Structure 1
Amino acid sequence: MSVVAIVVFVVAYALIASDRVNKTLVALTGAAIVVALPVINSDDVFYSHETGIDWDVLFLLLGMMIIVSVLRQTGVFEYVAIWSAKRARGSPLRVMILLVLVTAIASALLDNVTTVLLIAPVTLLVCDRLAINAAPFLMAEAFASNIGGTATLIGDPPNIIIASKAGLTFNDFLIHLAPIVIIVLVVLIALLPRLFRGSFAVDPERVADVMSLEEKEAIRDRRLLVACGVVLLAVFAAFVGHSALHMAPSIVAMLGAGILIVVSRLEHADYLSSVEWETLLFFAGLFIMVGALVKTGVVKRLAHLAITATGGNTLLATMVILAASLVISGVVNNVPYAATMAPVVADLVPALGDHVNPGALWWALALGTDFGGNLTAVGASANVVVLGIAARADNPISFGEFTRKGAIVTVMSAGLSAAYLWLRYFVFG
């Protein structure tokens, strides 16, 4: 049965990476095959912590998507983007820097796909007023979303998967990953003038148009904005203190979503408008296929091979995981890669338990998987969303163009991440 599980997963992985077939259809078809044969049964799928669907992941995503749907009705995201553009006084470079900062911060607090969906339309508006090509701005925001989302448990889908397998908390991600994220973001901002050289020329008359935008008019419902702010503060406070509260982040997110649904009195079409049902189904199918690999022992054998290859050396294992994650997640997609590698690292960590900082392996996996998403246009879901928006706005971004810029950002992120992991966990302990 292990051969069947491997073949189904590899074929599904290839189809997902090709981006020619709907990824949700592929994931659900693969899940149906391993259940029907049967490589895995219903108890394994619905009730097993090791091989089943991770309901905590799905409900955390669902809760946050509903919260964002309600928040979107207030117009606050448009307000922030217009405010940033005006504070930049219409300078394209300063506009890009501010939008990159807004995107990175929002991606850490929400999730990177939702953030680019909300920021990109306003970016197009500002670039249209300035009569400049929006493609460089959208690419910079995609890079920033993947970098900023690395800092928190909820910022990037791979982090949710990794946290679930490793038993990591919201605070763990902030403490261990936020410092390197800040460093990488600062270096990205310093690289922007060279990375997008020739993209910042603007007509002074167009600058006046941008300055005429009134950000206050973007706020459509002030009462709801206040309510959202209070609920979001409570939700993030509960995320930070969920260990003491003995309440899983998924429950916190769903409670916050429920409160906002009641308070906002929105129609169901409005509070479900940002819920990506296809994404949730994709995750479910993916968990089932990975569960089949776990049940048939494929994952344990991979972990054993990894232990053998690294000779039990934790530093070598950490760097191998970082490098492999950066490349593989960038070439394919970081979500299925994280779902596949998390069980491998879960088996690898106990085997290195007597060595220095085996927990560094989890941070290597998170950094490699999240930062590796910048390597190509299909490396992260946010990239795919950005390319679609750019194409519809007649500012197309080619796969090659994105990859050329993304490779520079990824190499920079890789070097800084390797130095950070080595210094923090092996030099200073």
Structure 2
Amino acid sequence: MDRIIALIIFLFSYTLLITEKVNRTIVAILGATIMMIFGIFDNHIEAIKNYVDVNTIYLLMGMMIFVSVIRKKGLFEYLGIVTLKIFKKNGFLLYFGLTFMVALMSAIIDNVTTVLVFIPITLAITDSLDVDPLPFIFGEIMASNIGGTATIIGDPPNIMIASAAGLNFTEFFLTNGPISFINLFTMQIITMIMFKKTLNFKIDQEKVKSFDPHSAIGNKKDFIISWFLLILTLLMFIFQHQLEMESSTIALFIGFLALLILDKDEVEEILKEVEWGTILFFFGLFIITGGLVETGILKDFTYFLAKIAGDSMRSFAMMLIGVSGTVSGVVDNIPFTATMIPVIKNLQNINPETFGNLNPLWYALSLGACLGGNFTPIGASANIIALAMLKQFKNEEISFINFFKYAALIVSVNLIISAIYIEFILI
């Protein structure tokens, strides 16, 4: 009975999220609490501990505070003007440059931090040019998730997969890196065709020359401190495994350090700028998807897939990349990856001859789980944050349906290319 109730609540919640008839935060929190009221979880406190990814929650809080503080110091406007001067020829080159930079950064640090840094820079650029920011934000969302597939540290599922499979950083990058760049280039071509009318603009070279990056600087001392804090943040994220620190610890430390140094007298104002609705939405969504794990629905689903694939490495790999890509668009890819890992490991016990080398399956799971996050506006944390910032700073939105309409083709092509890569290169 619990399974039926959990599935009904999950499906009803996602229907409301897709139709956007009710505010998404209300949907997520009510869905989560209704699951608790109906006894889906034996212990509510344990459910929160087990299924709410507090690392993500605290990461968002810390980085939102950090971004709010240094945004007022002119750093993002400065970087925006410098970026514009580099990619100053036309809208297509600017788009290509920004999405490439986002993908590259996402391979080094987590996707959420990447979009939190780049979205304000992008909005500063589009404001100065008086052009529509939507294609740029959409492209950067796609690029952040694609870039995250390249390395072990690029996306949480990759960390889990590499740990379970015993894959090192170099081995993982040499395998997933090439296909990530192919997928990125494919995405850029498709999106530039989709948004050709919006991106087809010449940038006034004289106007660009008139832009002075130093004009964005208000207080020089605060500006220099902002630079220092930004560089410190990036270095801490890049070397977080050597430092043995969680992303959330770094984000909270850097966020409140920036607040102390630069805006200690405006704490209340800065805290008001945090997207608390988005954070609560994440909280509820974690609980809702956790209900599928708690009742065993997700586990049974993965074993069902394994049974369908039979004894063929090729069939299982193709099925895995397709299903993980689709499921990750609606269910957080972390619990899905967690349930698939023991399934893949067990294949060697079932059929050691066929599944002697599991590496193709590990990479299929990685590519599917990470790329699938691009399917919907709630498919990955970076998507939700980027769109929340667009709403916060520009009061513009991309509806669930419109996002999916554009994303479906891109993700489908990326998954097909990835499947071909695994078929002919890895198997």
Q: TM-score, normalised by structure 2?
A: 0.77
AA at the equivalent of 1:209: K
CA separation of 1:176/1:374 partners in 2, compared to 1, >3 Å: closer, same or farther? same
How far apart in 2 are the matches of 1:2 and 1:403? 28
Q: Which residue does 1:299 correspond to in 2?
A: 298
Q: Which residue does 1:235 correspond to in 2?
A: 236
Contact persistence 1:290–1:339 (CA under 8 A)? no
Q: Which residue does 1:338 correspond to in 2?
A: 333
Q: Which residue does 1:180 correspond to in 2?
A: 179
> Is 1:5 the counterpart of 2:11 in the alignment?
no
- The CA deviation at 1:228 is 0.8
Deviates more, 1:379-388 or 1:209-218: 379-388
AA at the equivalent of 2:37: A
How far apart in 2 are the matches of 1:415 and 1:222? 46
Equivalent positions of 1:29-108 (< 5 A) are 29-40=30-41, 41-47=43-49, 51-108=50-107
Equivalent positions of 1:312-327 (< 5 A) are 312-327=311-326
- Write out per-residue CA displacement over residues 315-342 of structure 1, whole angstroms, 9 at most, x where no aligned residue: 4333223212434555xx4xx3425523
AA at the equivalent of 2:84: A
Q: Which residue does 1:284 correspond to in 2?
A: 283
Deviates more, 1:257-266 or 1:10-19: 257-266
CA separation of 1:80/1:416 partners in 2, compared to 1, >3 Å: closer, same or farther? farther
Q: Which residue does 2:215 correspond to in 1?
A: 217
Residue of 124, 127, 146 corresponding to 1:125 = 127
- Write out per-residue CA displacement over residues 369-425 of structure 1, whole angstroms, 9 at most, x where no aligned residue: 44334446665566675599499979987877765653443243223322343456x
How far apart in 1 are the matches of 2:291 and 2:200? 54
Q: Which residue does 1:160 correspond to in 2?
A: 156
How far apart in 2 are the matches of 1:180 and 1:219? 40
- The CA deviation at 1:308 is 0.7
Contact persistence 1:147–1:370 (CA under 8 A)? yes
How far apart in 1 are the matches of 2:393 and 2:229? 31
How far apart in 1 are the matches of 2:217 and 2:135? 27
- Secondary structure of 2:300's counterpart equals helix
- Secondary structure of 1:39's counterpart equals coil
Contact persistence 1:133–1:395 (CA under 8 A)? no
- Write out per-residue CA displacement over residues 100-128 of structure 1, whole angstroms, 9 at most, x where no aligned residue: 23343455545265356414422432442
Instruction: Give the total of aligned pairs.
Output: 409
- The CA deviation at 1:12 is 1.7
How far apart in 2 are the matches of 1:184 and 1:369? 14
- The CA deviation at 1:176 is 5.8
Equivalent positions of 1:251-270 (< 5 A) are 251-266=249-264, 267-269=266-268
- The CA deviation at 1:214 is 1.4
Q: Which residue does 1:350 correspond to in 2?
A: 345
CA separation of 1:394/1:281 partners in 2, compared to 1, >3 Å: closer, same or farther? closer
**What are structure 2's unaligned runs of at least 5 residues?**
none
**What are structure 1's unaligned runs of at least 5 residues?**
none
Deviates more, 1:52-61 or 1:187-196: 187-196
Deviates more, 1:292-301 or 1:399-408: 399-408
CA separation of 1:409/1:274 partners in 2, compared to 1, >3 Å: closer, same or farther? farther
How far apart in 2 are the matches of 1:70 and 1:178? 34
AA at the equivalent of 1:264: L
CA separation of 1:184/1:81 partners in 2, compared to 1, >3 Å: closer, same or farther? farther
Contact persistence 1:153–1:163 (CA under 8 A)? yes
How far apart in 1 are the matches of 2:292 and 2:157? 16
AA at the equivalent of 2:410: V
Taking only aligned residues, the RMSD between alpha carbons, in angstroms, comes to 4.0
- Secondary structure of 1:299's counterpart equals helix
How far apart in 2 are the matches of 1:269 and 1:399? 32
AA at the equivalent of 1:114: L
How far apart in 2 are the matches of 1:377 and 1:185? 18
Contact persistence 2:98–2:140 (CA under 8 A)? yes
- Secondary structure of 1:85's counterpart equals helix
- Secondary structure of 2:239's counterpart equals helix
How far apart in 2 are the matches of 1:171 and 1:65? 29
CA separation of 1:399/1:292 partners in 2, compared to 1, >3 Å: closer, same or farther? closer
- Write out per-residue CA displacement over residues 130-156 of structure 1, whole angstroms, 9 at most, x where no aligned residue: xx665544443443344334446776x
How far apart in 2 are the matches of 1:399 and 1:52? 25
CA separation of 1:34/1:407 partners in 2, compared to 1, >3 Å: closer, same or farther? closer
- Secondary structure of 1:352's counterpart equals helix
